[in-house]
Structure 1
Amino acid sequence: MKKLKSHFWYTKNQRNGILLLLGFILIIQGAIYFIDSHVFKEVDVESTRVLAYQHEIDSLKVIALERRKPKIYPFNPNFITDYKGYQIGMSTQEIDRLMNYRSKDLFVNSSKEFQHVTKVSDSLLKVIEPYFKFPDWVKKKKKKKQREKRFDHTVKKDKSIVSTTDLNLANVNDLLSIEGVTDALSERIIAYRTKLQGFSVEGQLFEVWGLNKDLGKEILETFSIVTRPVIKKINVNTASFKEVLRIPYIDYDLCVKIFDFRDEVAELQSISELKQIEGFPLDKYDRIVLYLLAE
């Protein structure tokens, strides 16, 4: 009994400590009540500042969602997997249609063909079409078809409607009778013919800028050199620098070499002596001697 009583017996200092502790507890509880009641006032959620904060938070959420979205990189629509199709928004049925089409070893080569096979909506096609990447040969094939389509819509030219078959007398309209010859090309052919004073050999036609070999051969199937041009040759021993420079096939550097050689030998006895000039273009000799002579 004495031991039990000793547990409930406190000294004066102990009693003062307990009272002081109780006092502190009451003060703290009162302070908490006072702060809850007076310091923290009700927030007006409709205030301009709160709405601005909320708008900023919503914007950050949208940005975070966009960043979490999978990025779409250019791809060949012929090799779409189930997961890839799901990523770009295709339904299971649309993916299956493409898979069935591909199982037949067939390929889609355009956005229009992709939509025809898969039956995707116009809105979805508009979103994913910019990411389609078809092989280079498909692009080239499309361009070729476009050119052929434009060609098919043009009026076929009648080769029989020509005023002459002489290449040196043919006019613009005569040359336009050949498929593939444009207005600009026909004018260039005539301008170059004028510069040469007339075509002396058929090979000169292929020297026209922008004329490919196949089209040149087609022109020569209708036109040929009937009238040989009469070219007034220049005496290389007495001609001025400007006169020689105006000759086709002779550029400034070659003209300088010719005059240096003429000064060295004093006078050319034969036009074939030009071949002795260092760096002389032998492949153009037959063309150059059409305009030069040595007397």
Structure 2
Amino acid sequence: MNFKLVRTYFYFTRGQRAGIFVLFGIIILLQMIYFFADFGFDAKKYPDKQKWLSLQSQVDSMKVNEGKMLSKSYRFNPNFITDYKGYKLGMSVVEIDRLLAFRKENKYVNSPKEFQNVTKISDSLLNAIAPNFKFPEWVNNKKESKEFKKYTNQAFAKKEKIILIDINQASKEDLIKIYGIGEAISLRILKQKENLGGFVSMEQMKDVWGLSPEVIENLNTHFKISVLPSFKKLDVNNASLKELTQFYYFRYALAKEIVTYRSMKGKINNVEDLTKIKGFPVDKAKIIGLYLDFN
């Protein structure tokens, strides 16, 4: 190695050496300023900062309350639990499917115990979710009624006799006396009677929206059809398309099929002829026939 060549790289003039010393001095001065000087911001220069810090606790408490509100549980009817709702409640897929299969049979659970019998959920899960169950009023009224009957005087109960009322003569007050029927449903039944001109069978209670099988059973124990009501029958052979459509059991599509059938086949002699028409509700043929005139 040529040391003389290397030595030339470290050779400085007097001016260069002076510049190097000055540079080192500046570096040392800056390091001392960095270690000993206070670069913190004066709180007095930012008076709003203290104000916002004092409000931070209030903001945190509001967030906590908001979280509680979002997590608040609401009461619900367990008969209408969806897949997502069941998952959120902690039910397994199998347990949810058992409930959905039960509901497909048009059956209802009316108590937490029945819900557990159908779904087979554990006792711990039932205890956790049952307080939020909300069943219809008529279910609760029915339970209260059964409990009350346990304490009635049997000798007095034997003397009680239910007097059947003709459903076509029943008033709103008569209907409301039945457990499960409120003012809205009683008015719905009366409106249905008005649209038909009168009921001809207690089977027509199944057509009233909002009536459960249990309520219909209660209606059958208190009401009946004593005499067929007097109303103007629909002349099925001469009625216009509009008149047929206005009949409760006929919709536009069926009314149109009836008009087509008349034009192609001729006179409709009885309700059996109507059952041959596409879309005719065969299961209600006997009831519908009482409203029709085939002359």
Could you tell me the TM-score, scaled by structure 2's length? 0.53
1:191 aligns with 2:191: yes
3-state SS of paired residue (1:141)? helix
Stretches of structure 1 lacking an aligned partner (at least 5 in a row) = 1-12, 56-122
How far is 1:145 from its partner? 5.9
In the alignment, is the contact (CA less than 8 A) between 2:236 and 2:294 conserved in 1? yes
Aligned match of 1:33: 25
Q: 8 Å contact 1:200–1:229 — kept in the other structure?
A: yes
Shift of 1:243: 2.0
Deviation at residue 270 of structure 1 after TM alignment: 4.3
Q: Does 1:204 align with 2:204?
A: yes
The Cα offsets for residues 188-218 of structure 1, whole Å up to 9 and x where unpaired, read as 1111121121111111111101111111101
Instruction: Note if contact 1:248-1:288 (Cα within 8 Å) is conserved in structure 2.
Output: no
Deviations 1:137-158 (A, max 9, x none): 646522336767x957xx98x9
Query: 2:272 matched to which residue of 1?
Result: 272
Long gaps (5+) in structure 2: 50-63, 74-87, 92-124, 149-159
Alignment of 1:80-99 (within 5 A): none
The CA distance in 1 between the partners of 2:185 and 2:204, in whole Å, is 15
List per-residue Cα deviations over 1:44-96 (Å, max 9, x = no partner).
42346xx99xx9xxxxxxxxxxxxxxxxxxxxxxxxxxxxxxxxxxxxxxxxx
Count of residue pairs the alignment pairs up: 201
Q: Could you tell me which residue of structure 2 aligns to residue 135 of structure 1?
A: 90
Aligned residues with identical type, % of pairs: 26
| Partner Cα distance (1:142, 1:39) in 2 | 69
Cα separation, 2, equivalents of 1:287 and 1:250? 13
Q: Any residues of structure 2 matched to 1:4-19 within 5 Å, and which?
A: none
Task: Give, as a single letter, the amino acid of the residue that structure 2 aligns with 1:45.
Answer: F
Deviates more, 1:252-261 or 1:130-139: 130-139
Task: Spell out the pairing of 1:108-119 with structure 2 (5 A cutoff).
Answer: none
Residue aligning to 1:249: 249
Letter of the 2:24 partner, please give it. Answer: I
Asked if the contact 2:188/2:208 (under 8 Å) is kept, the reply is yes
> 1:86-114 CA deviation, whole Å, 9 max, x = no partner?
xxxxxxxxxxxxxxxxxxxxxxxxxxxxx
SS in 2 for 1:276: coil
1:1-295 to structure 2, matched below 5 A, reads: 28=20, 31-37=23-29, 41=33, 43-47=37-41, 130=71, 135-136=90-91, 138=126, 141-144=130-133, 151=140, 165-295=165-295
The answer as to whether partners of 1:271 and 1:293 remain within 8 angstroms in 2 is no
Return closer, same or farther for 1:250/1:171 CA change in 2, 3 Å cut-off.
same
User: 1:277 corresponds to which letter in structure 2?
Assistant: I
- Tell me the amino acid that sits aligned with residue 256 of structure 1: K
Partner of 2:110: none
Using the alignment, how far apart are the partners of 1:135 and 1:236 within structure 2? 57
Residue pair 2:271, 2:285 contacting (<8 A) in 1 also: no
- Change in Cα spacing, 1:175 to 1:269, as seen in structure 2 (3 Å) is closer
1: CA distance, partners of 2:163 / 2:176: 12
Query: Runs (4+) of structure 1 moved beyond 4 Å?
Result: 23-31, 38-42, 129-134, 145-148
* Structure 1 residues 129-176: Cα deviation after superposition (integer angstroms, max 9, x where no partner): 94997535646522336767x957xx98x9x9x997221111111111
Maintained 8 Å contact 1:163/1:174: no
Bigger CA radius of gyration: 1
* Paired AA for residue 141 in structure 1: A
The 1:243/1:141 distance shift into structure 2, 3 A limit, reads: same
Deviates more, 1:253-262 or 1:237-246: 237-246
The SS at the match of 1:195 is helix
CA RMSD, Structure 1 to Structure 2 (Å):
4.5
Q: Normalising by the residue count of structure 1, what TM-score does the alignment of the two structures yield? A: 0.53
Verify the 8 A CA contact 2:164 2:222 in the aligned structure 1.
no
Corresponding letter in the other structure for 1:143 = N
C-alpha contact 2:164 2:224 (8 A) present in aligned 1: no
* Separation in structure 2 between the aligned mates of residue 208 and residue 28 of structure 1, nearest angstrom: 104
